[in-house]
Amino acid sequence: MTKKQKVQFIIDKLEELYPEVPIPLRHKDPYTLLIAVILSAQSQDARVNTVTPLLFKKADNPYDMLKLSVEEIRAIIKPVGLSPMKSKGIYGLSKILIEKHNGKVPDTFKDLEALPSVGHKTASVVMSQAFGIAAFPVDTHIHRLMYRWNLSSGKNVVQTEKDAKRLFAKQLWNKLHLQIIFYGREHSPARGWNKEKDVIYQKVGRKNL
């Protein structure tokens, strides 16, 4: 198969398996999505979804978030891990949103990445899922699968993102990155991977793994 044929096979198979892809993190607007994505760092989405209702009941906007102390935020989000850093980030970015952006989440990479605790991946998720702007957030699943599928070197997530954007059409990015995540979780996990049952790997993957 040529690389172009491999890419088309992946697109077709993912569309067949996941014609609809719900956003894994529960949210109602750009702000609650931004907070949920920050909480998801080195944590599972399912765990984040048990914590966010408790947090958003007290504060689902930056104005209410500033009524809580960093310690109060930390106590609520503790189950997701890294709570000291995340609670400071959530408080700090809420303050900046009010001071610089009229309480609204900005819709540019530059402004998002200037916020505390917001890196490129978090900004990409918000741009894609909150604002519908084409982005290709690379998480551990996408990084792993792009390597297994022999579409990227696996060197780092920056290179993986560049390769994904080069290989897949821009209009597919927002849906496709979620489809790859779902596939990675169900069929091509990091641990307990059954490569014989991984249909995409069997068709396009690196045979030396």
What are the residue numbers of the active site?
Answer: 121, 139
Q: How far from the centroid of its chain's Cα atoms is residue 153's Cα?
A: 21
SS3 65: helix
Candidates 51, 53, 44, 46; CA nearest to 75 is 51
Residue 7 CA to residue 2 CA, distance in Å, equals: 9
**How far is it between the farthest Cα atoms of the chain?**
58
- Contact criterion met (CB below 8 Å) for 146 and 176: no
How many Cα atoms within 13 Å fall on the side-chain side of residue 27? 23
The radius of gyration computed from the CA coordinates of the chain, to the nearest angstrom, equals 18
